[in-house]
Chain A
Amino acid sequence: NAGVTQTPKFQVLKTGQSMTLQCAQDMNHEYMSWYRQDPGMGLRLIHYSVGAGITDQGEVPNGYNVSRSTTEDFPLRLLSAAPSQTSVYFCASTRGALTEAFFGQGTRLTVV
């Protein structure tokens, strides 16, 4: 049982480049979320989804797009990377409200 899988684990981008961070879960969870973690800032919610076809903005959505075409996948897109997006990104999934959130191992992104 893989749980929540994030790819890639590490990535270096040049300013202005685009890329997609992948997140997949095999637990048939309805809720999925993307967070970024910066030193001293804890986890900040970027976007989240309560099911296929449904997404909503979190605390820091600017510069990021998401889509949820399947229950399993929730990719995060950076359309034009900026140095301020240098961070560690975590994807999480939950079966539903007030249940344990399972986290991926994170993607460390550096934008130069």
Chain B
Amino acid sequence: SQELEQSPQSLIVQEGKNLTINCTSSKTLYGLYWYKQKYGEGLIFLMMLQKGGEEKSHEKITAKLDEKKQQSSLHITASQPSHAGIYLCGAVPSGRDDKIIFGKGTRLHILP
């Protein structure tokens, strides 16, 4: 079965610093989603990647899918308190495009 590993599990960063969150799959991905969740709230869509080597940006957040389509990284530049929350990667398994399986999430804390 498809497994997604997110690292780190938790991250504490000084405001203004850059950071990277990784998402690794045990199998080739058909597609990869990144979502953000404020503590105790619903999920906010950030971006979706489908092609190997694809890179997308939204404001200060950039995500990339590697050429083999088994690993994605999410990079935040000049972090702000509004970036705090849980970041979840979700994968569409190859051959089964009808469901999304999520990793365990990365908790991000921003220190002022």
Contacts and interface: CB of A to CB of B under 8 A. Distances in A.
Q: Contact residue range for chain A? A: 20 to 34
A43 interface: yes
Contacts, number: 61
Contacts of B35: 103
B92 to A, nearest CB: 6
B101 A90 contact: no
B97 A97 contact: yes
Interface in A81-103: 90, 92, 94, 97-103
B45 A100 contact: yes
Contacts of A90: 42-43
Interface string B41-65: 1110100101000000000000000
B37 to A, nearest CB: 9
Given A40-B104, A42-B105, A98 B30 contact: yes
B104 A101 contact: no
A58 B90 contact: no
Q: Contact residue range for chain B? A: 20 to 34
A26 B58 CA distance: 27
Contacts of B1: 59
A43 B30 CA distance: 19
B41 to A, nearest CB: 7
Interface string B9-36: 1000000000000000000001101010
B102 A35 contact: yes
Interface in A31-59: 31, 33, 35, 40-45, 48, 50, 56, 58-59
19 contacts: A42-B88, A42-B102, A43-B102, A43-B105, A45-B100, A45-B102, A58-B99, A59-B1, A90-B43, A92-B43, A97-B31, A97-B92, A97-B97, A97-B98, A99-B48, A101-B33, A102-B45, A104-B42, A105-B41
Interface of A: 31, 33, 35, 40-45, 48, 50, 56, 58-59, 90, 92, 94, 97-106
